[in-house]
Structures are given as C-alpha cells and as structure tokens.
Amino acid sequence: MGRNVGCLALAVLLTCAFALRKTLAQKGWQFEESPGNVTSSLGKPVRLRCGIRGFGEPPEIIWTRDGEPLEMSDTNQLTLHLGEEEEKWLSVSELWISSVQLSDMGGYRCALTEEGGELLSEEGYLELEGLPHFSEEPRDFAVVANRTLNLSCQRLASEPVRVIWLQDGGVTNLLPACLSVCLSVWTAGLNRSSSFSCEAHNKKGVATSTTGKVTVIPDKPQKLKLYSRTNRSLEVSWEPGFGGVYPVTVYSIQVSELTGGHMIYNQNVKAPPPRHVIPGLVPFTEYRVRLSCRSSEGVSDWTDWATMATLEGVPSLAPTNVSVEFNGSLAVVKWEEPAGRLNGVLRGYRLAYQSQEPGELIDTGNATEMAFNLSLPGSNLSVLGVCVHTGGGAGALSLPSASPPSSQVRRAISQAETKLNKTRCFTVTLLQESYTKSTAKCNTAQ
C-alpha cells in the first residue's frame, strides 16, 4: 500500500513539473521591439529599449552585452495589461547609461529565461562616433626566440573598420590587414624583441592602439647529459639554447637529491663552454640536475630534471667485532659487516695477517670468517685487521678486539693502511714478529 502511495505522489510531481516546463513560445511570448543601433559620444547619456508581448505573468527581462549578463545595470521594466484579451500582457524594459565609456561599446540584446528555454531579441550595437576605439589592444609579453606567437587587436562595430598592424612603428606585411577584429598568428617567430600596435581606419580618420612589447627570450638548453663523473663530482654538458640575436651569457645550474628533493647546489656560470663540474657530492648517490640560461632580454624556462649518479667511493666504515677463536689446531678469524653507508656496493672483505710465511692481504669474498691451520710445527698467527672493499677501493683496517698489538705489529698495520689508502691494493711482507719491508702491488679492489 505504502509503495503505491509513493508512486502516485511521484506521478503527481512529474505532471506538475511538466506543466511548468511549457516553453516561452508556447506561452505566446515574443519580442515586439529589440534594441536599435546607437551612435553616441564619450560622456553622453544613452537609452536602449526592448519590449515583449505574451500571455500569463510577464517574465523578467535580462540585458546582455556581447553575450554576458549586465548584473549591475540601471534598468527599468514596465508591464501593462492589455484589456482586449484576457491575461495578455505587454512588458517594456529600458537600459539607461548616464555617461557612455569605451567599455560600454558592444552588442546589446534582451533575454527571457525560464526553465522551459530562452528567448533572445535582435542585437543592437552601441558605437562611439569619431575616430575608432579599441576594446582589445596589444599587450606586453615574452616569447621564446623563433616560436610562433599570437597577437590580437579588436574593434567591435556594426560597420567594418579596417585594422592594420605596425611593427616597431612601421607597417608590416607579415601580418595581414583585417576588419574590426584582428586575431593574428605570427608563424615565423621573432629573433629580435619588437613592439606592435594597430591602426584602425574609418571615414573620420585613423586611431592607433597602445603599443605592446614582445620580448624575445632564449630557448632552454638542449640535450643535457652526463659528460664524466667521479665519486665526488658530476660533469654535465648541454647544447646552448637559441636566444635570437641576443647571445646567452649565463647558465643557471640546480642540483637536488633524488631522494627527498633537497636542493644542494644552485650556481650561475658564465658561457661558454657548455660544460660544468658539480663538486662536493656524496659517492654512489643519485642526483637530479636541471639548467636554464639567460640573455640580455630575459631568462629561459628550466630543462626537465635529468637523473645522474656519482661513482662508488672508498668505504667510510670498517668491519666490526673482529675476533680470533681457537679450536684445536684451527684459528678462526670472525668479523661483522659494517652497519651504515659503504659509499658503494660491498664487493668483499680483505684480511691482513702475519704468520711463519710472508703474509698477504687475503680476499675472503663476502664471507665474514676465515680459518687458519696451525698444526704445522712453528706455526704462528698475528691478525693485523680486516677491511671492506667496494668498486671504489678498500677501506681502513679494523683491528681485532684482543690484546693490543706490539709496536712492530702497530708499525706494520700503519704502513699497510697507508699503502691501502694510496693504492687501493697492497701486499704486506712480514716475517713472524719482525716487520721487514712493505711493497705495493696492483691487487685491484674491483
């Protein structure tokens, strides 16, 4: 039962809505008078008028100029009941402009708007006598050298007005003359900053618009790329942006961290050459780089961000908890991986020790322990330390956590670390407890 009542109520509402949606034409409303064309002078009063006739309650008449409603206009609407026919009405609306200004020029219409549709009057034009007046004039703006640019100059009128373009004060043949409205596209582009204006010609004479300056700025640099790199710097190169007749004199370079986006470098460099070294970076780190350029006329847009990375560096950390454990005739040296940034990819570990035979720096790969057989007579083992190496080289030795080494062993460790830092590879020659001599070989750290 409740559902049937709801459907009945909905049907009644839809029927009422349909009845209200009768079009204005069905109600018999039509314009009997439309705004006429008016020619006036600046500061003079102007009155425009339109009228409608139809049946039922008269709708409100809305005034528009160039298709836009005049919200704050001074209007007056008078409605009269026509006695010869029942419910037939005449409504007249007047638009009053007390002092005409340039902004008042344009096309005027009256509009009736209801839910069922819209009815428009004919359009009447309000013009100012004398020399032509511009409703839109050239403006100042910047354009990239040799890029297409759009220029506009407008004079709305019911009668054609011839408009021609001027460049730097002289008539240009690159932009065609037009009637009333000029929307011109300069496809050839500019390589020199220029000023543009319009001239409007009618029987009263010639009027000139304001002048707009078009400033030619350089194009952004092209083909930004990585030229060379180290573990602490990036060298970038690019092709200069075209600036027309104005040479590019300065490049701006910005660098930010890829992770987090923090800006770490913002530098202006003179041109040429189109190459620059960005110093003070962190090894094995990705960065974003972009450029802009400047001429005497202005600054270009920024290039897109380019992602680049520094090379691997020498590890800044050493293995931790180096220890020696004895199990019968075996001595097992153990350590733990460094906790933190290595400045590269871990390529392995190197163990420095001395025994009854000349000792060498042994690469253990990624293993974190190394066993030595001490079953031979006279076997002796002194562990000097363990270091980690990346593609950038080997880091500092980490000493065992056992008792402090002797002075001779300390000298051997110091010499080994010195050569390790200088050559990234070394061999230490030791005989038992006596340090004899250190020699360096190219035992690469790759």
- pLDDT exceeding 70 applies to what percent of the chain? 77
Inter-residue contact 110 to 31 (CB < 8 Å): yes
Instruction: Indicate whether 106 and 155 sit together in one domain.
Output: no
Residue 301's CATH number? 2.60.40.10
- Does residue 19 lie in a domain region? no
Which helix (H) or strand (E) covers residue 326, if one does?
strand 320-327
Distance CA 436, CA 430 (A): 6
Instruction: Tell me which residue range forms the domain holding 416.
Output: 320-439
Which residue has better confidence, 310 or 375?
A: 310
Instruction: Indicate whether 431 and 347 sit together in one domain.
Output: yes
Instruction: Indicate whether 146 and 103 sit together in one domain.
Output: no
- pLDDT exceeding 90 applies to what percent of the chain? 41
- Does residue 92 lie in a domain region? yes
- Does residue 247 lie in a domain region? yes
The mean per-residue pLDDT over the stretch 17-34 comes to: 64
Check pLDDT > 70 for residue 330.
Answer: yes
Instruction: Indicate whether 34 and 78 sit together in one domain.
Output: yes
Chosen domain end from 107, 128, 149: 128
- Does residue 352 lie in a domain region? yes
The number of angstroms, rounded, from the C-alpha of 166 to the middle of its chain's C-alpha atoms is 35
Instruction: Indicate whether 337 and 379 sit together in one domain.
Output: yes
Instruction: Indicate whether 76 and 146 sit together in one domain.
Output: no
Q: Are strands 170-171 and 162-167 parallel, antiparallel or unpaired?
A: antiparallel
Instruction: Indicate whether 108 and 168 sit together in one domain.
Output: no
Reported as a pLDDT band with limits 50, 70 and 90, residue 429 is very low
Reported as a pLDDT band with limits 50, 70 and 90, residue 439 is very low
Instruction: Indicate whether 252 and 275 sit together in one domain.
Output: yes
The number of angstroms, rounded, from the C-alpha of 26 to the middle of its chain's C-alpha atoms is 55
Q: Count how many domains the chain has.
A: 4
Which residue has better confidence, 127 or 111?
A: 111
The number of angstroms, rounded, from the C-alpha of 301 to the middle of its chain's C-alpha atoms is 9
Distance CA 161, CA 181 (A): 9
Q: What is the pLDDT of residues 162-188, one digit of tens each?
A: 888 889 989 887 777 776 666 677 767
Instruction: Indicate whether 429 and 326 sit together in one domain.
Output: yes
Q: What is the pTM of this model?
A: 0.63
Chosen domain end from 73, 99, 128: 128
